Amino acid sequence: MRTIGIIGAMEEEISFLREKMDIVTTKSVVGLTYYVGRYEGNNVVLVKSGIGKVNAAVCTQAMIDHFGVDYIINTGVAGGLSPELHVGDILISVDAVQHDMDTSAFGDPIGVIPRMVESYFKADEALVELAQEAAKTCGLDCRIITGRVASGDQFIATQEAREKIRKTVKGDCAEMEGAAIAHACWLNRIPFLIIRAISDSANEDAGMSFDEFCVMAAQRSSLLTETMIAAMKN
């Protein structure tokens, strides 16, 4: 039976699913608590990774090594970059890139990881399709689109930073973990998907907007993730 790994960076991003899971056991690995159990007939491992790319990558590798997950879904919130996305809307990843990877001094485009064959990590097409189908039945009254996740160790809160990410890596939303999770999954050949609900517009009002709408956005991302898991057949 296949096992689905679910990663959220913050408590708000995992608490809704954790309350609904049938938790069988917990295990501490690399200082993180992994919740192992069942949800809607599927084996699930749920974890809070902590914020930032290093936390996310370490968490993902530990999940793969210690729990043998077959898929990984990253759920959470993000700042909207695409003009199509507003607070409360959801983005389903097509791919993910690190917007703060910069070796342009050597002539590399922003986002390109030197001496690697891939820098834009593609989400699993079957998982993307499953999420799109779940979007039709999850009951959310918001826009749900596919697009590119741009990740960096930076909370985007100025128009200048926002425009730079749009220009350099063409990101549709900005957050701090997804591309690191995608990178680890790509190295391990684990299918992945990122689902991000928009908590702010990644501009000068981002801090206040995030504080106000983070929980609402996290709940929406979690609901789509839960609906998707329920539709997965072991």
Residues annotated as part of the active site? 13, 200
Q: Which residue(s) pair with 198 in the sheet?
A: 78
Distance of alpha carbon 86 from alpha carbon 80, whole angstroms? 6
Residue 140: exposed, middle, or buried by beta-carbon count in 10 A (0-12, 13-18, 19+)? Answer: buried
Distance of alpha carbon 16 from alpha carbon 52, whole angstroms? 21
Q: What is the per-residue burial (b if ≥16 Cβ within 10 Å, else e) of 84-121?
A: ebebbbbbbbbbbbbbbbeeeeeeeebbbbeeeeebbb
Distance of alpha carbon 28 from alpha carbon 31, whole angstroms? 6
Residue 41: exposed, middle, or buried by beta-carbon count in 10 A (0-12, 13-18, 19+)? Answer: exposed
| Single-letter residue type at 155 | F
DSSP per-residue codes, 153-165: SS---SHHHHHHH
